[in-house]
Amino acid sequence: MTIYTDAGFRTRQMWDKNEKEGVLCVAIEKNGKVEIKEKKDFVPYQEGLKQYNNIFELKAVLFALEILAKEKYEEVKIITDSTTIRGWVKNGTGSEKFLPTPLHVSLFQELRLLKALFRNVEIEWQPREYNLAGQYIERVYGL
């Protein structure tokens, strides 16, 4: 079984601030068949937050871990097309130069809690053209 994750978003004007509205996608490839699970999500405007794409990508990984935890998997291998997210999931935090916002801190805490539910969580990088979740988002949402 291979798990692919990806996310895409658009900016939506909300009063005087821009809210980011996105879709989280998980593609589960098992026995030659692909099952797509998606979830709409948003990130409200936050002063100083610049990495909206990475936030949505991390939320897609969290969504995948939630799905797999419910199905009682012990070992998980996730494919992402983001080297940043691969590092975040592997290390449980950003790099030394990284200045986390309260949202990052909350998401990293959720990541640690979800990873603890599994015996092993592996994450690998592949280019987007091989990411089934990314292909789905491009085809359906044009993102």
Res. 47 pLDDT band, cuts 50 70 90:
confident
Percent above pLDDT 90 for the chain: 71
Which tokens hold the place of 112?
């640690």
Res. 80 pLDDT band, cuts 50 70 90:
very high
Mean pLDDT, rounded, for 119-135: 96
pTM for the model stands at 0.92
Q: What contacts 40, CB < 8 A, 6 or more positions away? A: 21, 22, 23, 24
Strand partners, 3: 28, 78
Q: What contacts 142, CB < 8 A, 6 or more positions away? A: none
